[in-house]
Structure 1
Amino acid sequence: MFDEAQRETLRAEINRILNEAVGALMDAGHLESGSVIVLGCSTSEITGARIGKGSVPELGEIVAEAMLAACKGHGVHAAFQCCEHLNRGIVVEKAVLRELGLTQVRAIPQPKAGGSVPAAAWKKMEKPALAVSIQADAAIDIGDTLVGMHIRPVAVPLRISTSHVGHANLVMAYSRLPYIGGARAVYTE
């Protein structure tokens, strides 16, 4: 679909955006090493098609590689939301699945059943596993995939200088602890 020059331009741009996004989430959300950031991404939306109607496996590989690299560079774990055909399951490394006590389900994401990005992530991970759900520390949504269902409460929206990846909207959120108590509660030491 893309010639070599287009592919390299896309790769550089998506690497830049996801590295900035992960860094911003780390800073704003005070994420620690070992935190989990979940990505929901529609390659259809990036190219200007309607979500779920124009999956682009080649673009999925670029996005998955960029997300994995950005997360690794910041010392956090990447998770990838599948589409509704796999009940919005989550692709993670098996070690993360075990560490977090996630429920594993059986399916291997494909570009048209799971999505191009999770399918590519599955192939690029050391020991991939599919979880039924996750409560991640932060989320990145490219293309209005409704990834917010996989972030633990309380979600705090975050914006960076980039608002789109191609034609797709870029939105993010990190989670903060819920405040409990009342007028006499103390929240800082």
Structure 2
Amino acid sequence: MYEDLAKAAETAVRELLETARMKENGLFVVGCSSSEVAGHKIGTFSNTEIADALFEAIYAVLKEKKIFLAAQCCEHLNRALIVEREAAEYYRLPIVNVVPQPKAGGSFATAAYHAFREPVAVERIQAQAGIDIGDTLIGMHLQPVAVPVRVSIRKIGEANLVCARTRPKFIGGERAHYDERYL
């Protein structure tokens, strides 16, 4: 079961990255409800085995592409994020002091905290892309113009999957011309 979940997550991330065209050192946010993946109401059935399997699959792809992972915590930690200290320093993100737990922060953020070389928590980011596994509301951590991306994976386990990338704002009105690379 965990292998199937991991494969689905890996496929979704790879497909999203193809569309998002992220560069090295980009920020990729992941919100994940292990409860929803297991078929339960969000926040009611934290499952560290599911979270670990999903985290490992997603993190491996992002490390390969040299993209920073930001693991969104649950609402009990105000949706703070767990990132590597290197990412916080690169993006000049103020660090806050909290250690996620399965029932206060979420199992996925807890997995990130234990796996990262030097984990820290931050309150907000502006990621260039991300995936939301189980309706965790990652939109607050995306750059201002989020664009939904449809991938071949619609659910991971029982959880809805929503993917998004971002693009620069269009400015200038009807006579403006736009750079196709950023559409």
Question: How high is the TM-score relative to the length of structure 2?
Answer: 0.94
Counterpart among 11, 19, 22 of residue 28 in structure 1: 19
Q: Aligned letter for 1:108? A: V
| % identical aligned pairs | 43
Counterpart among 126, 131, 134 of residue 117 in structure 2: 126
After superposition, give the CA deviation of every residue in 1:67-104 in whole Å (9 maximum; x if it has no partner): 21121122211110000111100000001001101121
1:159 is aligned to 2:147: no
Q: CA deviation at 1:29?
A: 1.7
* Range that drifts further, 144-153 or 15-24: 15-24
List gaps (5 residues or longer) in structure 2. none
- For the 8 Å contact 1:22–1:74, the answer to whether it is kept is no
- For the 8 Å contact 2:9–2:156, the answer to whether it is kept is no
1:52 is aligned to 2:43: yes
Look up the SS of the partner of 1:152 in the other structure.
coil
Matches within 5 A, 1:64-83: 64-83=55-74
Matches within 5 A, 1:1-189: 9-10=1-2, 12-188=3-179
Query: Number of matched residues?
Result: 180
CA distance in 1, matches of 2:7, 2:167: 26
- Counterpart of 1:3 in structure 2 is none
CA distance in 2, matches of 1:73, 1:21: 15
Question: How high is the TM-score relative to the length of structure 1?
Answer: 0.91
CA distance in 1, matches of 2:16, 2:37: 21
After superposition, the CA RMSD in angstroms is 1.3
Q: CA deviation at 1:37?
A: 0.8
- For the 8 Å contact 2:125–2:141, the answer to whether it is kept is yes
Q: CA deviation at 1:35?
A: 1.1
- For the 8 Å contact 2:16–2:151, the answer to whether it is kept is no
